[in-house]
């Protein structure tokens, strides 16, 4: 909807992509009072996403973070939307599809004609140029990066990233929206991988090089960083949690976008992705998750 000045007031949100990030975004939006439509090209993933939200909210009730009444009210605000056209009347769309620029462009091509003119289109990309993505849409001035951290219900930060064409009203409306989610905002310039992943992913990539060169084992590297640098999770365990395909995609964006050899993806990371060992989501990565406890694979 719009206010008296014609500026949009966000009341409804469409989320594209029902994976871990997408269902987490839908989760926090619904808990914060927004009506949410959750879409995925695969209807089964929408159902799985809704089930994950239900379970995650139940855990929040169990830990006392929310009440059962709040959970029920939030779940009632979320609708699974198998058709992209279902998002036509929302005030804000957050695209959270796979980290692949061509896939994102194709989504925007299909989505933009369906949206009302005043709707804001945003992306949850963790590394791709906001300016470049915006230029493929019919509303670059109403396009912005809203980058959530994983897992969304737990992590307190959101990176807001303006493209070169993003209007002030789009930025301010998005800032107010993120404030209502109870998240802390860090504003980043539109450079490859923004701030968090520009620092985090080269560290993970370097840890993989340390493994690749035989300096330490998976277990030794993760223990060293947990106990020696006070990281809550070792870098290889974290890579498995993020998804090794996502880690590789971000390193490739950094390497190609900044043309600096220090961002070259480790060949061992490439090999794991080629093997389909992508981490937790495929049950094998730097650890094997198929048993009762994770076992290092190297």
Give catalytic residue positions. Answer: 126, 147, 159, 197
Are residues 113 and 141 in contact, defined by beta-carbon separation less than 8 angstroms? no
Q: Pairing between strand 184-188 and 287-288?
A: unpaired
Q: How far is CA 274 from CA 19, 126, 135, 144, 214, in A?
A: 21, 21, 32, 32, 21
Specify whether the CB–CB gap between 233 and 241 falls below 8 A.
yes
Distance between CA atoms of residues 298 and 285, nearest Å: 10
Q: Is the dihedral of CA 254, 270, 278, 43 positive or negative?
A: positive
Instruction: Tell me the backbone φ, ψ of residue 124, rounded to 5 degrees.
Output: -95, 20
Name the helix (H) or strand (E) containing 136: none
Angle between helices 196-212 and 244-258 (to 10 degrees): 110
- What tokens does 17 get? 């992509």
d(CA 120, CA 8): 8
Rounded-to-integer distance, Cα 244 and Cα 266, Å = 11
145, β-bridge pairs: 123, 161
Q: At a CB cut-off of 8 Å and minimum separation 6, what does 62 contact?
A: none
């Amino acid at each position: 909807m719009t206010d008296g000045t014609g500026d949009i007031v966000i009341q409804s949100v469409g989320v594209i992509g029902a994976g871990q990030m997408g269902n987490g975004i839908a989760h926090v939006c619904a808990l914060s009072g927004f009506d949410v439509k959750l879409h995925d090209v695969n209807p089964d993933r929408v159902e799985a996403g809704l089930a994950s939200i239900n379970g995650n909210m139940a855990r929040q009730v169990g830990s006392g973070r929310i009440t059962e009444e709040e959970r029920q009210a939030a779940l009632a605000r979320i609708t699974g939307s198998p058709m992209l056209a279902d998002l036509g009347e929302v005030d804000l769309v957050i695209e959270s599809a796979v980290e692949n620029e061509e896939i994102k462009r194709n989504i925007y091509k299909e989505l933009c004609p369906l949206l009302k003119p005043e709707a804001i289109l945003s992306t949850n990309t963790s590394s791709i140029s906001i300016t470049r993505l915006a230029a493929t849409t019919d509303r670059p001035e109403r396009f912005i990066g809203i980058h959530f951290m994983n897992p969304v219900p737990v992590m307190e930060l959101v990176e807001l990233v303006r493209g070169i064409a993003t209007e002030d009203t789009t930025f301010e409306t998005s800032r107010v929206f993120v404030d209502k989610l109870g998240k802390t905002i860090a504003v980043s310039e539109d450079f490859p991988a923004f701030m968090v992943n520009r620092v985090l992913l080269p560290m993970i990539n370097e840890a993989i090089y340390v493994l690749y060169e035989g300096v330490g084992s998976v277990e030794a590297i993760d223990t060293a960083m947990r106990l020696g640098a006070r990281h809550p999770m070792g870098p290889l365990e974290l890579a498995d949690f993020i998804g090794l395909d996502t880690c590789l995609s971000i390193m490739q964006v950094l390497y190609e976008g900044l043309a600096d050899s220090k961002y070259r993806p480790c060949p061992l990371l490439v090999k794991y992705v080629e093997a389909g060992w992508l981490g937790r989501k495929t049950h094998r990565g730097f650890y094997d998750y198929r048993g009762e406890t994770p076992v290092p694979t190297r």
